[in-house]
Amino acid sequence: MSAFSLPPFPLHTDCPPVGLESLRVSDYQLQASSSLSSGLGPHRGRLNIQSGLEDGDEYDGAWCADIKDKEQWLQLDALRPTLFTGVILQGRNSIWSNDSVTWQPCMNGSQEAVFVGSQDQETPVLALLTEPTVAQFIRINPQSWFSTGTICLRAEILGCPMSVNPYNEFTWERGTTDKLDFRHHNYAEMRKLLKAVNDECPDITRIYTIGKSYTGLKLYVMEISDNPGKHELGEPEFRYVAGMHGNEALGRELVLNLMQYICHEYKRGNQRIVRLVKDTRIHLLPSFNPDGYEAAYEKGSELSGWALGRYSYEGIDMNHNFPDLNNIMWDAQEEATDKKKVSNHYIPMPEYYTTTEALVAPETRAIISWMQDIPFVLSANLHGGELVVTYPFDCTRNWIPRQDTPTADNDFFRWLAAVYASSNLVMANPDRRMCHFEDFQQYNNIINGADWHTVPGSMNDFSYLHTNCFEVTVELSCDKFPHASELPVEWENNKESLLLYMEQVHRGIKGVIRDKDTKLGIANAVVKIEDLDHDIRSAADGDYWRLLNPGEYKVIVWAEGFFPAMRQCSVGSEPQATICDFNLTKTPQERIKQILAKGGKIRRDEQLRTRALRMRKLRVSTKILNRRREQQLRRAKAKRK
């Protein structure tokens, strides 16, 4: 077949990935000269694909040829004329074709081009074609490999699909009608975007910071509310946290898209958004780990690999960096003669965690302090690299590698996870391909975190056991750092899920717990649901929120110095919390004296005191460490000058 007659193209055309990593390319579009096994077939030759847990299974981590010679190849059928501009791979030689029969070698001047591939298992290597060419098929043809190894590679291919018009212009489907800033934002650009949103919607937005990263980058939060900067009595607080792993960049961009979208739609009078803003105080943290993100961003979306930027500047995985309260609770239950007396909520962090010697990232310390300051009710932790929603517990008992480990609120957590997964356009697609080696569709794209893999010290578990906030993890995409061209489509995939999940903060019961005599709110009153072994507490003004599925509940409330109270509360199926207020009567001093005279004990909230004391210690040690770090940074800057 003759080559296409085309006008000349610029040498460095900026074409995006065709989609091996993002799964835009289907398995049937990939072929190979030979394969070592079915689990090492051409469909596994995708950039950053991860292997299964068992050697020799159907889900290995690359394409591998069965024959060791220079005639082996991995081939892509792009299905349409495409301007190929480069490859990211572990192999070397690239050739192309328009009909998969007649092949033309990639040239470097008068010689066939041979590109340097990867020298290790993980580092992606970019090879730009010196002469970008239009074709439908492209082959990657490895020319050398380690003598003790096999021909194996994972790849991505850069190319612009050509439109069917006389000029053969490059066109890319936008994927959405929303006019948002679809690109990857580094730290400086993120700050500009936050300011732009705040300038456009000053009446409903506020920018604040909760701390700094190890290198001094601020952890910015965008608050969205009809009364920004103020907790309104009875109004629940919601948060999205993205970028815990800095290289999982999609969550960061979705959070930035979300704040723009809410601003635009609020101004347009979209009643769903207006209601959400008026009834909810929303907090959006786009970058938990800005140091990690900057490292990944500098390399680029396809070249950062699977792990670069995942960890903090100090090499800490923040997903394991929170206090492990699960085992503290479980150990106490095993030792207790009466398990009902073991606390199931507001568990204090351990003493060692509050010291300056504890290996706790400054970012983690900032998040914990933030959790303490604001009475969050619901949250989601946005990750990437898979397509699944996980719910607590994330940690197994007895250090088992994986085992279903449910919370007392398992049914509601499953509901939360299903709300996001069932409304996500990719997760809900029954024909989608699995990302790596686990088929989460058999679980309807939700799974107990510990049943996937155990994660001691996760933010989800800490949030549930140390605060009132319920939190799930959303794995947003197979590709941790999708190309900017994919962002409009990813926004559409997740837009409804992001909004619908936020609306779940209005389920269950809510109310205000007051002193019957003074009518003032009672802080830290315990709210107990009969037959549910997880309590929550009232906020500083006495208001509380208890997420619950539809049903009838017996609710018991008590606070130190007051008689307990009980009432029946009914929860409907609509996302509108049932009002369930309480007025508590103070325990008379005469009654206290009688109890003590008979040898009885007055119920003391010692756990609350311990929790507050440990939090104060953590904040003191954080200030000390921050001062040390700032001094080190100043000295380092002075030396560079």
Compute the Cα dihedral for 477, 483, 486, 487 and give only its sign.
positive
d(CA 344, CA 205): 35
**CA angle, 477 then 480 then 485, to 5°:** 80
CB 29 within 8 A of CB 120: no
Given 475, 486, 490, 503, the catalytic residue? 475
Closest CA to 67 of 31, 35, 30: 35
CB 309 within 8 A of CB 245: yes
- Here the tokens at position 527 are 């709210």
CA distances from 470 to 239, 371, 519, 572 (A): 10, 12, 29, 20
d(CA 217, CA 228): 24
d(CA 365, CA 356): 11
Residues in CB range of 542: below 8 A, 6 or more apart? 512, 513, 514, 520, 521, 522, 523, 525
d(CA 152, CA 40): 9
- Here the tokens at position 47 are 């950039």
d(CA 557, CA 536): 10
Catalytic annotation present for 475: yes
Segment holding 173, helix H or strand E:
none
Closest CA to 456 of 374, 515, 396, 509: 396
d(CA 193, CA 187): 10
Segment holding 633, helix H or strand E:
helix 606-640
Closest CA to 482 of 319, 253, 268: 253
d(CA 147, CA 13): 36
CB 490 within 8 A of CB 254: yes
Per the document, the length of the chain is 641
Closest CA to 500 of 338, 203, 273: 273
d(CA 49, CA 393): 27
3-state helix, strand, coil in the chain (%, to 5): 30, 25, 45
d(CA 545, CA 563): 21
CB 381 within 8 A of CB 318: no
CB burial of 423-439 (b: ≥16 within 10 Å; e: otherwise) equals: bbebbeeeeeeebbbbe
Tell me, rounded to whole angstroms, the distance of Cα 307 from its chain centroid. 15
Catalytic residue IDs: 475
